[in-house]
Amino acid sequence: MPVLTASQIRALMPIQPPFLFLDEAVLPATGISVPSSPPATARYRITGDEFFLRGHFRDNPVFPASIMVEALGQLGVLWLLASPPAPAAGRSIDPATIWFASSEGVRCHRICRPDDELALTLRLLRVRHPLATFTGTIRVGTEKTATVEELTLTFDYK
């Protein structure tokens, strides 16, 4: 499973800096249509230069939990775009049609700050057009940071 660099991720993603929270990613070779496939993984280093940290919170920068959930969703978007589901039969997913639909069971376990490196893990639960549902975890080192029981994206084909 090759590592996708930040520039390769930017080339695939409709989401771009300053709102892209993936520095590198590894996607399973089995594609997205196999729920038993290995997870997708990614990394993001919190630099401290993120625009929203200036006000979250004043003189005490804390990476928002909502942005952590966004990062997991972005990994799901990347996985969908790089490995369209098998029933697509040669059709590609339209990047303009991938949207966040819902998240369930979001839990935060640790505050994240500048210089922390987020390690994201995303597992496919199910995919059936127009929905793809994942479960995800974020860690900093060995510490669990956040978990999402179900993160659902909606998508369509070109």
Give catalytic residues, as residue numbers.
56
Q: 26: which residues sit within 8 A by CB, 6+ positions away?
A: 1, 2, 3, 4, 40, 41, 42
CB atoms within 10 A of CB 60: 9
Amino acid identity, position 87: P
Amino acid identity, position 102: S
Q: 19: which residues sit within 8 A by CB, 6+ positions away?
A: 70
User: Is the torsion defined by CA of 57, 63, 65, 71 positive or negative?
Assistant: positive
